[in-house]
Structure 1
């Protein structure tokens, strides 16, 4: 069969149509690619949750969140072996602690702890709310403060203390870099030093200096001893006159420090996180 060739005019028309189609396809591909590259809009932030109303009667019945208290309904620390946020918080006046943002009241947080100003490490924040570690039993207890009313003071803290129970060594970090490390004595097998993150609660000078010129109570308690020497079994950092104990596990749970370590730690801000690992 014989097929005649298309005329020059017809060929030009067909070429023009093909070029136009190619241009349309290219434009569609470009626009589609542009649409894919455009970031999706972020969802709006949820408004802060308001705290529940607490009556005067309920407020009077709430326990005080101190080293002497036990808060059975407190939420446990969700990351007990992690570093804190680098922020510490001080209540300007007595504040209500809540189990969760918008949840039921848990306790009241006083402005002082053991005659020292209350400073607690921040471990989580949400709009209008701040979660802190508490100095109460059980170890790792946490509570939420409604902070949208500017009734708290919050500041950055570059320090962290780490205690390695297996190496029996304490290390001080500043901005995550070690600045000092010392052998220490830790809890004996029958009265171990509790693990997890806690914090410097107070700095106390004993009325009569025996084994240490300074006691640094922590926001943690012995898991074995409910009371010790008239107190609630609070774990602390303190000095010890006999250097032969360092590097050993023989205390009632406290961490015994060389003189230089105690002097260095005495200058740390209250609320400084202390991370104890096995």
Structure 2
């Protein structure tokens, strides 16, 4: 059984290369210290990052639904709410893993957006104020079918490619549901993959891995024999061409992982 090599991200620096449930994967038109927002300081509430677990926030009820492609980016740290107009529950920083934070919108109300967050538990969402956000639309989406071990990347209705990939093994399955491209990490040392693309989702069976929080990612793999097999700790290993296409997608782009 071929395993993912452990990897660790400290700030934006990648050390001791590894991944899967470790640290793991720009935008368009794509742990930091940032400014105070309103009366909420960045240290007063938990940060909505891949390293944290949040409570008191709504879950994404439409786990396999198609996202609109609207993505938003906070220019500075913003407060996250369980309900519009309620009390802040967390903060969403402007950068994560060395990349700008772009998150997909799952619901909109006047002056507010409910967005997918990159924290645990999987599918956690939160409301952020629309004022001051940068907004874009990604016409792209990536679809992973675990049963057939296939990755398809779409640009609107145009298929950019379909590839056979490696997915999580029986004891460390790749988590299902809709998520998004969170970041793009370039390892500073020679590694199993030239790029790592963390997603906004985590292993459902590993709380930590290789010193990281169990973040699932797209990444390459030097041995092509693994493609088509369920052998990873939860990450999705992709061929070189697929990795190149994925790396060109805007951050925040929707990713659907289906059974």
- Asked whether the two chains share a fold, i.e. TM above 0.5, the reply is yes
Matches within 5 A, 1:123-138: 123-138=106-121
What's the secondary structure of 2:243's corresponding residue?
helix
Structure 1 gaps of 5+ residues are 1-52
- Give the structure 2 partner of residue 261 of structure 1: 242
What's the secondary structure of 1:229's corresponding residue?
coil
- Give the structure 1 partner of residue 152 of structure 2: 171
* 2:126 is equivalent to residue 143 of structure 1: yes
Structure 2 gaps of 5+ residues are 1-36
TM value normalised by structure 2: 0.83
Matches within 5 A, 1:192-271: 192-271=173-252
- Give the structure 1 partner of residue 138 of structure 2: 157
- Give the structure 2 partner of residue 47 of structure 1: none
- Which has more radius of gyration? 1
* 2:51 is equivalent to residue 68 of structure 1: yes
Mapped partners of 1:75, 1:275: distance in 2: 19
1:177 positional shift: 3.4
1:248-277 per-position Cα deviation (integer Å, ceiling 9, x unaligned): 101000000000000111110011111000
TM value normalised by structure 1: 0.78
1:202-229 per-position Cα deviation (integer Å, ceiling 9, x unaligned): 0001122221011000000001111111
Residue 169 of structure 2, aligned match among 174, 188, 211: 188
Mapped partners of 1:74, 1:187: distance in 2: 28
Mapped partners of 2:214, 2:248: distance in 1: 24
- Give the structure 2 partner of residue 118 of structure 1: 101
1:53-83 per-position Cα deviation (integer Å, ceiling 9, x unaligned): 97457x6420111000100212100211011
1:100-143 per-position Cα deviation (integer Å, ceiling 9, x unaligned): 11222121111001111010111110111011100000000101
Matches within 5 A, 1:80-99: 80-99=63-82
Q: How many residue pairs get matched?
A: 223
- Give the structure 2 partner of residue 48 of structure 1: none
- Give the structure 1 partner of residue 89 of structure 2: 106
CA distance change for structure 1 residues 56 and 154 in 2, over 3 Å: closer, same or farther? closer
1:144-190 per-position Cα deviation (integer Å, ceiling 9, x unaligned): 0111x3x1011111000000000000000111432210000000010
Mapped partners of 2:185, 2:39: distance in 1: 36
1:220–1:234 Cα contact (<8 Å) kept: yes
What's the secondary structure of 2:73's corresponding residue?
strand
Mapped partners of 1:210, 1:64: distance in 2: 29
What's the secondary structure of 2:225's corresponding residue?
helix
